[in-house]
Amino acid sequence: MKKILILNGPNLNLLGRREPSVYGSQSFEDYFETLKNTFANIELHYYQSNHEGALIDKIHEIGFSFDGMIINAGGLSHSSIALADALSSVTTPAVEVHISNIHAREPFRHHSYISSRCKGMICGLGLRGYELAVRFLNE
């Protein structure tokens, strides 16, 4: 059975309450239950932190033993070279996901330091981006 980690960064613990016009009204915990039911043949894990170092520690922890990682680093995507370095340091393939279309938002969000360390990026498709990333990593 494949093991895939979904790793969410700062402020994503507020999904469902934070700016619903941008991020939707469903909590990630509720959506994660849907994902687990959809992909019963995959061992899905979920971790969220508002702290850069905790995200890096989690990448190091699973980075040589999981079959895939889906990362939504939130605002750290646009500022954290350390997260990019952590992704480069491990062998687990990653897919970057953003709920909103970062290219249609403020200019500082147009660049992601982690994109070049990932197999691909999905943005602007809401929570469905996670499902698409799981499907890709399961192929």
Q: Is 100 annotated as a binding residue?
A: yes
Q: Is 72 annotated as a binding residue?
A: yes
Q: Is 6 annotated as a binding residue?
A: no
Mapped to the 3 state alphabet, what secondary structure does the chain carry? Answer: CEEEEEEECCCHHHCCCCCHHHHCCCCHHHHHHHHHHHCCCEEEEEEECCCHHHHHHHHHHHCCCCCEEEEECHHHHHCCHHHHHHHHCCCCCEEEEECCCHHHCCHHHCCCCCHHHCCEEEECCCCHHHHHHHHHHHC
Which listed residue (46, 47, 98, 111) is catalytic? 98
Which listed residue (23, 31, 113, 130) is catalytic? 23
Q: Is 109 annotated as a binding residue?
A: yes
Q: Is 130 a catalytic residue?
A: no
Q: Is 78 annotated as a binding residue?
A: yes
Q: Is 23 a catalytic residue?
A: yes
**Active-site residue set:** 23, 98
Annotation: binding site for substrate: 72, 78, 85, 99-100, 109
Annotation: binding site: 72, 78, 85, 99-100, 109
